[in-house]
């Protein structure tokens, strides 16, 4: 399944591991003020969504340099919603916490993504993953997370037109860098998902962005592994703030 991207060649390869999608319905009127006016809040049958996504990243390399792959895992936790720009569906990130100082620095510089420093631990025990994150970055408010999750059912591919497909099969992100509207494109095969189990002891990372989530997620999905190619950021517009 190929996805159209910009004309530039992909820049970086990554592997995403043991990923949880915790999807929450949130009123559109509450989310709209929290995203830039140049982006359109996307909804599914009139409902807006926010997702909390913990996972581990590994096997990072640059195009043509696969022999120098950084295989060690580091943890990441992001909070995202769903937007469009000029009719193209994508993702808008409220925060991306990580325990890799280099990843935070590179993403802040290249994409102006809201990557933040955090102390994180990921413990694997049988079929469960205990993921803990404590934000240490002084550029943003608190954002702690402590949860246990894992796969809880057979794997499946989503069907186009379904909510699950709408939430996961997105191949661009949008971000503001000053007045520049940037698009970051990625390519990967369609997600292989499983139903998931999750218990959250602490889940305040969305709250740090001003988002009040329901007590329990509406949908939970687990993905074991996904290989991704990342394109460099591309300017697609200018945001006139006046």
pLDDT digits (tens, 9 = 90+) for 69-78: 655 889 999 9
Q: Determine the pLDDT at residue 231.
A: 92
Instruction: Give the pLDDT score at 67.
Output: 60
Report the pLDDT value the prediction gives residue 129, as an integer from 0 to 100: 98
> Which of 98, 102, 97, 96 lies closest to 70 in space, CA to CA?
102
Residue 112 backbone phi and psi in degrees, to 5: 60, 30
Q: What is the pLDDT of residue 8?
A: 64
pLDDT at 60: 85
Burial of 58 (0-12, 13-18, 19+ CB in 10 A): middle
Q: CA-to-CA distance for 218 and 164, rounded, in angstroms?
A: 11
**DSSP notation for 92-123:** EEEEEEES-HHHHHHHHHHT---EEEEEEEEE
- Per-residue model confidence (pLDDT) at position 212: 95
pLDDT computed for residue 71 by the predictor: 59
Looking at residue 107, its pLDDT comes to 65
Buried b or exposed e, range 185-196, using 16+ CB within 10 angstroms: bbbbeebebbeb
Sorted by sequence, the CB contacts under 8 Å of residue 239 that are 6+ apart come out as 36, 37, 38, 176, 179, 180, 181
Sequence-separated (6 or more) residues with CB below 8 Å from residue 170: 82, 89, 90, 91
pLDDT of residue 68: 63
Where the chain has pLDDT below 50, the residues are 1-6
Q: Which pTM does this prediction carry?
A: 0.92
């Amino acid at each position: 399944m190929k996805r159209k991207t910009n004309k530039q060649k992909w820049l970086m390869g990554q592997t995403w591991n043991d990923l949880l999608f915790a999807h929450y319905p949130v009123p559109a009127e509450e989310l709209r003020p929290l995203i830039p006016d140049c982006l359109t809040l996307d909804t599914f049958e009139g409902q807006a969504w926010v997702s909390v996504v913990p996972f581990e990243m590994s096997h990072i390399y640059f195009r043509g340099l696969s022999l120098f792959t950084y295989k060690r895992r580091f943890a990441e936790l992001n909070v995202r919603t769903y937007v469009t720009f000029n009719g193209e569906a994508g993702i808008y990130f409220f925060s991306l916490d990580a325990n890799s100082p280099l990843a935070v620095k590179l993403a802040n510089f290249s994409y102006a993504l809201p990557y933040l420093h955090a102390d994180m631990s990921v413990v694997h025990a049988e079929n469960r993953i205990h993921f803990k994150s404590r934000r240490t970055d002084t550029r943003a408010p608190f954002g702690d997370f402590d949860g246990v999750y894992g796969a809880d059912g057979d794997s499946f591919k989503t069907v186009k037109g379904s909510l699950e497909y709408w939430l996961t099969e997105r191949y661009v992100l949008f971000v503001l860098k000053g007045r520049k509207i940037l698009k970051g494109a990625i390519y990967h095969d369609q997600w292989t998902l499983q139903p998931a189990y999750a218990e959250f002891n602490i889940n305040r990372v969305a709250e740090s962005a001003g988002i009040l989530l329901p007590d329990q997620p509406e949908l939970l999905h687990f993905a074991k592994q996904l290989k991704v190619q990342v394109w460099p950021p591309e300017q697609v517009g200018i945001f006139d703030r006046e």
